[in-house]
Amino acid sequence: MVNGELKKIGVLTSGGDAPGMNAAIRAVVRTAIYNGIQPVGIRRGYAGLLEGDFYEMQSNSVAKIIQQGGTILKSSRVSNFKDPEVCGKAVENLRKEGIDGLVVIGGDGSFRGANLMHKEFGVRVVGLPGTIDNDIFGTDYTIGFDTAINTAVDAIDKIRDTADSHNLIFFVEVMGRDAGFIAQYTAISTGAEAMIIPETENNLDDLCQYLEKERRSNKTSGIIIVSEGADLGSAEQIAEEVKKRLPNYEARVTTLGHVQRGGSPSCRDRVLASILGNAAVEALMNGISGVMVGQINNEVTYTTFDDACSKHNHINWKWQQIAHVLSI
């Protein structure tokens, strides 16, 4: 394969960190070196790009990181990167450093910045979907999602023990921003009694009626998974409202929070990150730019940044129904 005359490829992680980002960095760096291209690490995402915080990476710069959570390059959210003047400054830094290809590992917010660099300034750039939320169009799974749901499931299984021992209803809040994928997967796999996700209209009276029905069918404890972006508010707020309507219930709330973002990546996340990191460099070598590299049905796919940023992954409604059927 020819390397499309690429001499230096920059790599950065942007937005919320996700387990598997390190595995992706490792794959980008080693694929570049294998093909005679110098990889350059850009620290702290777009913030480091704007400050020229670059360093040349070697094969051993990424030794023993495949199993580490977080990102060795560190990450940031830079809200004004969509300003063409700010973005232009970043592009200037890339050119000064002789970086002629860029891999951005992050979520849709990060891809908006990458798209601007591609469209307005002709930067050769590809994206890798790195977020625990699994909300990116153009890939079956995002890097970090599998680890996050396994972390959440482990925590909820433990909560179940206490719920059961003390006859409690637990409202467990999971992350996901405005997408309910983490909630749906964790609810199904922990046998939760109900889930409240942003993709549906939810109703407190219906929820209370459902809880009453469950109690009548001799269930003494319950787990309700609340996705952070749901319409009824936070798990705390929902629990308060339920307590007002059902004063005989003892309810507790656990917000899992950032624990879901950390930890050693699962095998699936390591493999996905390795395959996609490799594909990102090969895409740049083949002159492909302005796309996110994803995986659908085990095949590497390219989705334009325009689509990856504007379209949405859809919740599987059949699975919602199954979760309901199995929770009776």
The smaller minimum CB distance to ligand F6P, of residues 91 and 272, is found at 272
Instruction: Work out whether 261 is an interface residue with ligand F6P (CB under 6 A).
Output: yes
Considering only the stretches 24-32, 36-44, 169-177, 186-194, report the one whose residues sit in contact with ligand F6P under the rule CB under 6 A. 169-177
Instruction: Work out whether 132 is an interface residue with ligand F6P (CB under 6 A).
Output: yes
Among 175, 280, 285, 292, binds ligand F6P (CB under 6 A): 175
Task: Show the 3-state SS of the chain.
Answer: CCCCCCCEEEEEECCCCCCCHHHHHHHHHHHHHHCCCEEEEECCHHHHHHHCCEEECCHHHHCCCCCCCCCCCCCCCCHHHHCHHHHHHHHHHHHHCCCCEEEEEECHHHHHHHHHHHHHHCCCEEEEEECCCCCCCCCCCCECHHHHHHHHHHHHHHHHHHHHHHCCEEEEEECCCCCCHHHHHHHHHHCCCEEECCCCCCCHHHHHHHHHHHHHCCCCCEEEEEECCCCCCCHHHHHHHHHHHCCCCCEEEEECHHHHHCCCCCHHHHHHHHHHHHHHHHHHHCCCCCEEEEEECCEEEEEEHHHHHHCCCCCCHHHHHHHHHHCC
The smaller minimum CB distance to ligand F6P, of residues 227 and 320, is found at 227
CB of 261 to ligand F6P, least distance (A): 5
| Annotated catalytic residue 133 | yes
Considering only the stretches 117-125, 151-159, 171-179, 299-307, report the one whose residues sit in contact with ligand F6P under the rule CB under 6 A. 171-179
Considering only the stretches 57-65, 84-92, 161-169, 170-178, report the one whose residues sit in contact with ligand F6P under the rule CB under 6 A. 170-178
Of residues 17, 100, 108, 133, which has the active-site annotation?
Answer: 133
The smaller minimum CB distance to ligand F6P, of residues 135 and 282, is found at 135
The smaller minimum CB distance to ligand F6P, of residues 16 and 39, is found at 16
Instruction: Work out whether 309 is an interface residue with ligand F6P (CB under 6 A).
Output: no
Instruction: Work out whether 74 is an interface residue with ligand F6P (CB under 6 A).
Output: no
The smaller minimum CB distance to ligand F6P, of residues 16 and 101, is found at 16
Burial 157-166 (b: 16+ CB within 10 A, else e): eebbeebeee
Instruction: Work out whether 133 is an interface residue with ligand F6P (CB under 6 A).
Output: yes
Considering only the stretches 64-72, 131-139, 286-294, 301-309, report the one whose residues sit in contact with ligand F6P under the rule CB under 6 A. 131-139
Instruction: List the interface residues with ligand F6P, window 199-238 (CB under 6 A).
Output: 228
Residues binding ligand F6P (CB under 6 A) = 16, 107, 131-133, 175-177, 228, 261
Q: Which residues carry out catalysis?
A: 133
